[in-house]
Chains A and B, each alone.
Chain A
Amino acid sequence: MNPVTLEAIAPHAAREEHPVNQETLEDVPAALRATGLDLHYGSKQALFGINLVVPKNRVTALIGPSGCGKSTFLRCLNRMNDLVDGVRITGKVEMDGTDIYDPRVDTVSLRRKVGMIFQKSNPFPKTIWENVAYGPKIHGQRDKKALDEVVERSLRGAALWDEVKDNLGKSALALSGGQQQRLCIARAIAVEPEILLMDEPASALDPIATGKIEELILQLKDQFTIAIVTHNMQQAGRVSDYTAFFYMGSLIEFGSTDTIFTNPREKRTEDYVSGRFG
């Protein structure tokens, strides 16, 4: 791999206090670029000037202790925080050169491009087929055959097809927790987003189901850019290419996962990844 200058990947971050660990960053275009992102809940500030790049077709893990702002930051990337009363956001998040917080940006088309997987699997109380077809239908696909194809492709993509292909008409709620979460992933990729945001997608699952989700994440990164919030250090180590360490609403350090885990620049990062706090 060809180490390049930091500017190639995070020019904005570079001008900041040095939150970015420079070694071993590849020359990968940015899928999303947050610049000076502040977030307030009412009078309480939850994010402080976040500068972070989510590299394209890579897995970026957001780690940090509870309440550090990593989930809040993730939800800024598809503007899900807009739905929370009293939230005020300043700064920029650029995607394909457009600030997604520009008032002209339509959140509906943004969220179509930036999908989300939630901590608690949340399939609709409908059939498996209906769950996956929901997004494409909303976006205008009416043809039953085309929908069947999307459903199959998405379920295959989420490594669930073989388990459910004979039961597509069954209620999604009859699936196990791990299957439900993979169904949610299938539902998200059915609308062909560019980016997938995952908010602790495996935190409610047993180790086997977690393993399947992690395997899936590694498969998905060929097609999608993935940003994943996780509490689990090993998980971040296993699935991610880049890791961002958040602490008390600030981005402390960002770099390749290897560097963050083996040779972090910041003491706090080292303490956290080695399990000394958090």
Chain B
Amino acid sequence: MNKKIIGKLAMGLTALCAFGTIAAVLWIVGTIVWQGAPTISWTFLTSAPSEGMTGGGIFPCIVGTFLLVLIMSVIGVPVGTITAIYLSEYVDRESTFAKWVRFAVNTLAGIPAIVFGLFGLGFFVRFGGGGLDAIFSHGKLHWAQPNILWASFTMALLTLPVVIVSVEEALRNVPQELRAASLALGATRWETIWKVVLPNCMTGVLTGAILAVSRGAGEVAPILFTGAAYFLPQLPGGLDSQFMELGYHVYIMATQSPDVEATKGIQYGTTLVLLSLTFALNFSAIYLRATLRRRSIQ
């Protein structure tokens, strides 16, 4: 065959694949917006499911998702930030320990979400909860069952690498001269971190938090066994309550509903809400990160 034709074919094929990616995104988002938009209404967003889950709204799922990512952030962001501080400020980058920590972070990022779910059930619910029950409820079952606390812990573990990586990047973006200036004034290393380095990378911490939230909001597997509920008549009342969640709601509506056809509108509507939430979070993270980069260049 002619070399020219091969060249043209290769270009055509690569362009086709590239186009396929765009098409897939457009197709998915388009269908969801198209099918979901008619369902979205103020009532849909603010009322609870009714009529045997075939009517009503998704308010408890929105609240549940919100609470889940909130508690997850309260647990995961500080731990991730502190780990990043250690990696960036205290330990030599090339040291064996730092390498092990980084290896652990990368491995953690590569573990499938369902494994986190199972781990959460085994470790947090059974072991952690069981321990609490043994101490506080005299063996009566209370903490050793799925609830929003254990789901948040599991989710925090899943999103930890995201936080660590973005905070560490932000810390490395803080100019070395600022640390030198502070140390040369007789500040200790900790004073330098606390008063100079951290205030200069709050955008990074925030980006990490948003990315973690957007990742966490989109995952279902980790909360399957650790706290999410099919239906609850009331909103979560404490850390020991179960909760409804957007992603989980889509899953059960599509697989467990008595009448899958009747809930189609709800499925699309819920998916659209979930998608909007994750997109909005991702875009704000991208925006923050761009601002951060721009500032560090100046």
Chains A and B form a bound pair: yes
Closest CB in chain B relative to A257 CB, distance in Å: 26
CA distance A108 to B184 in the complex (A): 8
The number of chain A residues touching the other chain, given as a range, is 20 to 34
Chain A, residues 101-129, CB within 8 Å of chain B (1/0): the string is 00000001111100110101011110000
Q: Is the CB of A80 within 8 A of B183?
A: yes
**Nearest residue in A to B92 (C-beta to C-beta)?**
A85
Q: Among B31-39, B108-116, B174-182, B232-240, which stretch is in contact with chain A?
A: B174-182
**Nearest residue in A to B192 (C-beta to C-beta)?**
A138
Q: Is the CB of B195 within 8 A of A138?
A: yes
Q: Is the CB of A111 within 8 A of B185?
A: yes
Q: Is the CB of A83 within 8 A of B195?
A: no
8 Å CB contacts to A: which residues of B59-104?
92
* SS of B interface (majority): helix
Number of interface residues of B (CB under 8 A): 17
B200 sits at the interface (CB 8 A): yes
B196 sits at the interface (CB 8 A): yes
8 Å CB contacts to A: which residues of B156-198?
175, 177-178, 180-188, 191, 195-196
**Nearest residue in B to A117 (C-beta to C-beta)?**
B184
A134 sits at the interface (CB 8 A): yes
Closest CB in chain B relative to A73 CB, distance in Å: 16
Chain B, residues 136-148, CB within 8 Å of chain A (1/0): the string is 0000000000000
Chain B residues near A20: list those with CB within 8 A: none
A60 sits at the interface (CB 8 A): no
Chain A residues near B200: list those with CB within 8 A: 125
Chain B residues near A184: list those with CB within 8 A: 181
* 24 A-B contacts (beta carbon < 8 Å): A78-B184, A108-B186, A108-B187, A109-B186, A111-B183, A111-B184, A112-B186, A115-B185, A116-B180, A116-B184, A118-B177, A120-B177, A122-B178, A122-B181, A124-B181, A124-B182, A134-B187, A134-B195, A135-B185, A135-B187, A138-B187, A138-B195, A184-B181, A188-B184
